[in-house]
């Protein structure tokens, strides 16, 4: 006999008041309705951070059922209808509820446009991506709480297996994004992809090219946000999808050896850094910075006699590569991208501060350049230590602890982290009675430099004096009636 979840567990999965309303609608409109997909999967898994969206399949009158359900809720949510797809959705108290009419759907080999017609529940379940995402619980009062699992998804859930309900060739060629979703779910849930399914991903890897970048990036970000993203990157690599969607990361793979000297595999190092960062922070963009921190190592790699492998300037070149990669992946080109760029550019700087004779001005400069992202930068640097030698790791961590102390001391003393010029352009124009001009920029820059160098303190009086001295060199005189005021 086929395994079923405990009746009590099933009832608990549909205990939310929303389901009571949907059951009523299902009964009154005489259409069978089911909750399917991620919601059922996560409920049976008892996931800590379960899927917040609810997917409802209705056999006929899907849009009407959505409208009627929304009408019976207080307050009534606004329903968005996608007539062409036969779907409707609304948001109720942070939950997104999607209604779909059961459909039969097939895609032609040369097109992404599906042909859609009415279907049964099983038709709907068949065209879902994985067996664990094809579990359904009935909501109509006549069969309330009945578990419907035609592809043994429950068994796969217990064995932690990702498997397609149909022949994987068919499932993946209908929508190649599902290959990436397989890896995403394996990473998020810590599941294994069943062999035949995995082989089909490898064989169909090139078909990912027909999928839109936005859909790909949504899945990539979910892999990045998983507790251990490296799982996903190893699977991406083994399936051949990495080379297709992230060629720059694929280029980090491998070791070269010359005169008995080998450099480390930058790909394996990178995904370890990513895992290390993931343990400390769930900031998606810090994770992207970890993924991209060594992206320019292949392009800057050199073998230097008597020294070994070097990657000079990979921090600078890497930061230059970030916008191109973000644009291609349709990631935001705003301050998030700039943040990633900044962290890539600065990721070696704290190492330079670990030497004993580091000057205060070097510390001030880093604080100035990193600004409020200094803490994230330090997290990245600490995550960047991936040596297997525990003594070395300890030593490096201790060095960074000292750097953190220096940063703290200097910031308390000089407050340059959110540097605001103590003398403004307006001040300069008034003092010397000059119009807006390049001179103002030159003076402001000179003051900033003097503060960062430690020639003067970050203080208005000192900066004002310094401004007058520097202006004199440029042949500027203080406006007569001002001399007394500012002394």
Beta-carbon-side half-sphere exposure of residue 57 (alpha carbons within 13 Å): 28
Q: Which residues of 78-94 are buried (b: 16+ CB within 10 A; e: fewer)?
A: ebebeeeebbbbbebee
Encoded one letter per residue, x for contact with ligand ATP by CB under 6 A and - for no contact, window 100-129 reads ----------------------------xx
Smaller CB distance to ligand ATP: residue 55 or 68?
55
d(CA 141, CA 23) in angstroms, rounded, equals 6
First to last CA, the chain: 95
Rule CB under 6 A: which of 428-467 touch ligand ATP?
none
Residue 176's binding partner among Mg ion, ligand ATP, none (Cβ under 5 to 8 angstroms by kind) is none
Residue 157 CB, nearest approach to ligand ATP (Å): 12
Residue 228 CB, nearest approach to ligand ATP (Å): 17
Q: Enumerate long-range contacts of 329-338, CB under 8 Å, 24 or more apart.
A: 329/213, 329/216, 329/217, 329/220, 330/213, 330/214, 330/217, 331/217, 331/288, 336/285
Site size toward Mg ion (CB under 5 A) is: 3
Q: Does the protein bind ligand ATP through residue 294 (CB under 6 A)?
A: no
Smaller CB distance to ligand ATP: residue 128 or 406?
128
Encoded one letter per residue, x for contact with ligand ATP by CB under 6 A and - for no contact, window 159-198 reads ----------------x-xx--------------------
Task: Give Cα separations from 163 to 57, 69, 134, 173, 357 (angstroms).
Answer: 21, 33, 11, 15, 58
Nearest residue (beta carbon) to ligand ATP: 38
Encoded one letter per residue, x for contact with Mg ion by CB under 5 A and - for no contact, window 47-86 reads ----x-x---------------------------------
Which of 38, 168, 232, 318 forms a contact with Mg ion (CB under 5 A)? 38
Smaller CB distance to ligand ATP: residue 103 or 347?
103
d(CA 377, CA 102) in angstroms, rounded, equals 49
The closest alpha carbon to 368, from 442, 418, 402, belongs to 418
Residue 133's binding partner among ligand ATP, Mg ion, none (Cβ under 5 to 8 angstroms by kind) is ligand ATP
Task: Give Cα separations from 121 to 34, 84, 138, 438 (angstroms).
Answer: 8, 20, 10, 72
d(CA 68, CA 78) in angstroms, rounded, equals 11
Rule CB under 6 A: which of 55-84 touch ligand ATP?
55
Rule CB under 6 A: which of 19-38 touch ligand ATP?
37-38
The closest alpha carbon to 69, from 14, 16, 25, 102, belongs to 25
Cis peptide before 75 (omega within 30 of 0): yes
Binding site for ligand ATP (CB under 6 A): 37-38, 51, 53, 55, 128-129, 133, 175, 177-178
Binding site for Mg ion (CB under 5 A): 38, 51, 53
């Amino acid at each position: 006999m086929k395994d079923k979840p405990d009746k009590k567990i099933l009832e608990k999965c549909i205990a939310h008041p929303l389901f009571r309303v949907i059951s009523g609608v299902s009964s009154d409109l005489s259409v069978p309705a089911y909750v399917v997909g991620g919601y059922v999967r996560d409920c049976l898994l008892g996931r800590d951070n379960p899927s917040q969206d609810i997917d409802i399949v209705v056999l006929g009158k899907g849009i009407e059922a959505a409208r009627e359900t929304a009408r019976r809720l207080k307050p009534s949510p606004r329903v968005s209808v996608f007539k062409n797809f036969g779907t409707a959705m609304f948001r109720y108290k942070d939950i997104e509820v999607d209604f779909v009419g059961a459909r039969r759907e097939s895609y032609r080999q040369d097109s992404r446009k599906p042909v859609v017609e009415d279907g049964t529940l099983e038709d709907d379940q068949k065209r879902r991506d994985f067996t664990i995402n094809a579990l359904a619980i009935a909501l109509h009062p006549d069969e309330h709480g009945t578990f419907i699992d035609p592809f043994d998804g429950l068994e796969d859930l217990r064995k932690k297996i990702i498997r397609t309900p149909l022949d994987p060739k068919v499932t993946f060629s209908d929508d190649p994004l599902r290959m990436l979703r397989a890896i995403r779910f394996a990473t998020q849930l810590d599941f294994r992809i069943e062999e035949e399914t995995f082989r089909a991903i490898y064989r169909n890897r090139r078909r990912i090219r027909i999928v839109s970048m936005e859909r790909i990036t949504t899945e990539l970000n979910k892999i990045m946000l998983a507790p251990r993203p490296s799982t996903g990157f190893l699977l991406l690599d083994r399936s051949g999808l990495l080379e297709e969607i992230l060629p720059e990361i694929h280029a980090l793979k491998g070791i070269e050896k010359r005169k008995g000297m080998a450099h480390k595999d930058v790909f394996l190092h990178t995904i370890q850094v990513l895992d290390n960062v993931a343990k400390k922070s769930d900031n998606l963009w810090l994770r992207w910075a970890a993924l991209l921190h060594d992206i320019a190592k292949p392009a800057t790699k050199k073998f230097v006699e008597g020294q070994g492998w070097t990657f000079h300037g990979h921090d600078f070149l890497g930061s230059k590569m970030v916008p191109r990669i973000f644009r291609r992946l349709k990631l935001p080109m705003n301050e998030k991208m700039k943040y990633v760029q900044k962290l890539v550019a600065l990721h070696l700087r704290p190492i330079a501060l670990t030497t004993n004779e580091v000057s205060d001005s070097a510390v001030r400069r880093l604080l100035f350049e990193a600004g409020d992202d200094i803490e994230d930068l330090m997290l990245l640097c600490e995550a960047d230590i991936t040596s297997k030698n525990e003594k070395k790791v300890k030593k490096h961590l201790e060095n960074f602890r000292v750097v953190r102390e220096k940063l703290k001391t200097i910031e308390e003393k000089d407050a340059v982290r959110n540097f605001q010029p103590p003398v403004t352009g307006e001040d300069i124009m008034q003092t010397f009675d000059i119009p807006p001009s390049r001179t103002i920029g030159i003076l402001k820059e000179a003051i900033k430099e003097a503060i960062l160098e430690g020639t003067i303190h970050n203080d208005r009086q000192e900066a004002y004096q310094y401004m007058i001295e520097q202006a004199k060199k440029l042949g500027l005189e203080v406006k007569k009636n001002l001399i007394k005021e500012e002394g």
